[in-house]
Amino acid sequence: LRETGHEAMAGCLVVPIIEDGNVLGVYGRRIVDARPREGQSRHLYLKGPHRGVWNVEALSASREVTVCEAAFDALSFWAHGHRAVTWAYGVNGFTDEMLAAMKRHGTERVAIAYDADEAGDRAAEELAPRLAEAGIEVRRVLFPRETKDANAYAQKLLASGADVSH
């Protein structure tokens, strides 16, 4: 609850970030107000530093993981059968905790699936050497510029009747 007594994530789809049975954080995507008021974000997190790795189980289940820029992109991969996926907290949101978890679980390869825009490209270029220094092979997933990200690309393919399960 906010200081005003109102629910902080009202009108949002809420995705918890759970590790070892503990909720370390939550992501909220505003869905009730499709167009937020001035100064209001569609993407909400709890106050304070970002904690945890969403779908940390993927790191122990697979030596290769896809890292998306945002929650809905990772959830799009998940919904279409690609379980070895997680997300950073935005273009500048890949944390030291995420890197440590990858090292701890023996991640060998990361496919960076950030948005196909200037910010996503720049963030991927900055993340790649950081992962490489940790001994992790890096690949870049490139989406068509007109679809921009994994979620939009999946929606486009689904609308066309394409099979997006692989």
Judge whether 25 and 51 are in contact, CB under 8 Å. yes
The pLDDT tens digits for 42-93 are 788 888 899 999 999 999 999 999 999 999 999 999 999 999 999 999 999 9
CA distance 30 to 44: 8
Q: How far apart are CA 29 and CA 42, in angstroms?
A: 6
Exposure string of 98-119, with b = 16+ CB inside 10 Å and e = fewer, is bbebbeebebeebbbbbbbeee
Instruction: Give the residue, 36 or 149, on which the prediction is more confident.
Output: 149
Positions of E strands within 1-84: 12-19, 22-30, 43-45, 64-68
Q: Tens digits of per-residue pLDDT, 83-138?
A: 999 999 999 999 999 999 999 999 999 999 999 999 999 999 999 999 999 999 99
